[in-house]
Structure 1
């Protein structure tokens, strides 16, 4: 019989007869996967990828059973890793958690200490998860664009998927740096929200989501795209000469039905953003900028708290496009 003190709550995705099923259930600590750092999780998030894992609508989970959750923040309770001590506040984004290794939608985790990032001193666990992979990916996108020469003087920057987590953060991070931001959304009723984040203009995503011309009128100096498919193809077709596109998502699809015309005739650069396996130095640089640039009031505007018990129902809402911004998960509620 398991000691009740060693039990913790987790969302567990299991497979039966080829179908995935997610449930909130008690799990014994002994079931945690191998790792050299044991973490007491305080907050997690519900991302698009997590929603796919929970609903079984995407090939996210690599083996079963799986605890989803590509983000976590908490406190080290035990460590055999030289970098981490008991009591350290840490966060984790990516590295396959929630896909190949049990993730953050639980009250405990055991992970590889090399995957962890030290929590910036000015952030608490809830704030870090309000930022989460979405804000971290948006910052990686911005840093990449700036490393390739983008400045506010370059011209307007388009953000697709503007109401999503990455899009919301991309808008506020760009606006904070002085860029004029154009937001593409399928929810015009959210225009006021996007303008409060810093969008200067709102356009209908339908103008980008259907098959378009290989090369169209040049409109923007750069773009951050979290949508993919026809949207990304149309974005590239409308970027100004020598412009930049950071591709960081595939909400519309993983295909890329495009032409080489923008890249050859206009010198457009398509920059892929891999947020999953970045080295620690790059992660710390991104999180230091996030801690400095993000206003706490903006986090409250972008995010909404839910309990661990609400996450399964919220996954369907997220996939249906009914969620604005970020869902932050209190794993102890």
Structure 2
């Protein structure tokens, strides 16, 4: 009989009624406290006693008094109610961290979140890194994340109607070269002048929004963008660009990369036109997290940047 408790659902209303009866000692007062009938109080207590297989109260002229089993169960019942409250509080909007996808830690989007954290230190943050826009959208739809930074809407991947997007940053691209590259001494470089130069970007992968962006950029301006070889990360990319005069790469103006002074790398502005990478904030329209509203207000509209973006950027 006692083991039946292990196989039945815990009735939190019955447990809450039991605790109130233990504290107040009168079923009538419990009924008033919980705004239910006295009959409902008795029924809940009886149900709980049946599940546990013990008597929890004895009736006396003074009211209801705990039995020894009732006294033993009381502290556990209180802890059960506290656990239920903690569980509910953990998912209340504003009571859990705001979970935001920034794609990668060194991108401009990570800098946007650092700025937000400095401006709103009381808002708890949980920063994650998802690879594709498909994974990000699914995470938004399931509630696994609250927001994501992406370039939208790439061809063949329209956003679901419940996913909202607002443009928050237009990031100019720069040319990154080693000290021996033919363009290393230039103050700026015309985009069309890059035709014929080898641009190496091993992080580009088909099916990503940045892959679609650079495909369109290369096609429109006759550029040669190579994605050959394994992607060993930014440090390996910087080492190779520094040591290989024939190679250069694109880098966002707000992308934070650090390299040894001996590398002698150059960041060169690109002009006429400047390629601009658009960053949008995505979120689910039904997400009520107050931190999300604060983030959107903080980001605001992006400063106007004149330059080239693919035709699918809306």
Using the size of structure 1 for normalisation, the TM-score is 0.31
Using the size of structure 2 for normalisation, the TM-score is 0.32
Which entry has the higher C-alpha Rg, 1 or 2?
A: 2
Structure 1 or 2: more helix by fraction: 2
Higher relative contact order (CA 8 A, sep 6+): 2
Structure 1 or 2: more strand by fraction: 1
